[in-house]
Amino acid sequence: MSDSLQQRIDELNQQLISLKAETNQLKLQAQKWIEKRNSLNEEIKRLREEATNLKERRDALNEKVKELKRLREQTTLERKEIKTQILELKKRLKSLLKKKSSRNMQNIQKEIETIEWKIQTTPLPVKEEIPLIDKVRFLESQLLVHQQIQQLEKNTMEMQTKEKTLATRAQLFHEKLSKLAEQSQRLHEEMLESLNKSRSFKFEADDAHQKFLQIKQKVEESHKKLVDLLQQMKSFQQKLQQKEEEKQAQRQVELREELEARALRKLKRGEKLTWEEFKLLAEQGKIQSEKNVGNLKREGRTN
């Protein structure tokens, strides 16, 4: 029975060693997956922070683009209004050119001055003075047309210069906003790339976590088996110890019976007993002789 218990304990011990090795291997696998999951989560965190930063930079550029578009549209509107004014000036100029005298302003001015000088310095009859006054008025109207044409031409040139300046400004706004829009688009694409990578890593991290949980479950099951095996071993070891104690107790009984039988044979043959033999027989009530006790004391066989 003891041999079978020991054999069973040895078998359980081998299972325990194998199960511990398997458990340790599972723990290493679980650690590998948890480290991979944590590493991926760190990368996901970095990519999301990067995407947030890119989004903020993109949004800032978009605000600048928006402002530049507003300025471009405002400039374009101003330019359109000026073009309308230029067309109106040209229309008025065209109308005045039809009234323009073939004579130049200097000749007209000189003739006006000559007539006015004559009127002022020469006594003339009313009949002669009136035609001269009328002529001055006519010449002044001609001069006024020339002056108006000059002013219109000047205004037209100023408006055209302003229109060109606005056109240049609008073009600069357009070029700048186009450049910023391209930068914004690149940042947007980089942001999407970071987010796509983070989503891909998220799938991997989730997969690693699931594998970790699966292995963790196996570790827990393996640990439970270890506990069961240890309990079984403890139970068998207790039984084996009990058997050994019973065996020792039986051996003590057998030795005691052998000692008792030997003492009885010696007593029957009249031989002297040792103290142990005497004590054993006395405890059994099989000897009460004071003489034998005295003999044992004289022989130095008592304690």
User: Per-residue b/e over 190-221, b at no fewer than 16 CB within 10 Å?
Assistant: bbeebbebbeebbeebeebbebbeebbebbee
The pTM of the whole model exceeds 0.85:
no
Q: Which domain holds residue 184?
A: 2-246
The per-residue pLDDT for 3 is: 65
The rounded percent of the chain whose pLDDT value lies above 90 is: 34
Q: Are residues 157 and 218 in the same domain?
A: yes
Q: Are residues 195 and 128 in the same domain?
A: yes
Mean pLDDT to the nearest integer, 60-79: 94
Q: Are residues 194 and 262 in the same domain?
A: no
Q: Are residues 286 and 238 in the same domain?
A: no
Is residue 14 one of the residues assigned to a domain? yes
Is residue 45 one of the residues assigned to a domain? yes
The per-residue pLDDT for 298 is: 42
Q: Are residues 129 and 276 in the same domain?
A: no
Q: Are residues 162 and 263 in the same domain?
A: no
Give the confidence band of 89 by pLDDT, cuts at 50, 70, 90.
Answer: very high
Task: Give yes or no for residue 303 having a pLDDT over 70.
Answer: no
The per-residue pLDDT for 184 is: 93
The per-residue pLDDT for 249 is: 86
Is residue 303 one of the residues assigned to a domain? no
The pLDDT tens digits for 38-52 are 998 999 999 899 999
Crossing angle of helices 2-99/126-269, nearest 10°? Answer: 180
Mean pLDDT to the nearest integer, 186-205: 91
Give the confidence band of 291 by pLDDT, cuts at 50, 70, 90.
Answer: very low
The rounded distance, in Å, linking the Cα atoms of 170 and 208 is 56
The rounded distance, in Å, linking the Cα atoms of 108 and 130 is 19
Is residue 106 one of the residues assigned to a domain? yes
Q: Are residues 108 and 125 in the same domain?
A: yes
The per-residue pLDDT for 58 is: 93
Is residue 220 one of the residues assigned to a domain? yes
Question: In the chain, how many domains are there?
Answer: 2
Q: Are residues 210 and 274 in the same domain?
A: no
Q: Are residues 113 and 257 in the same domain?
A: no
The per-residue pLDDT for 300 is: 43
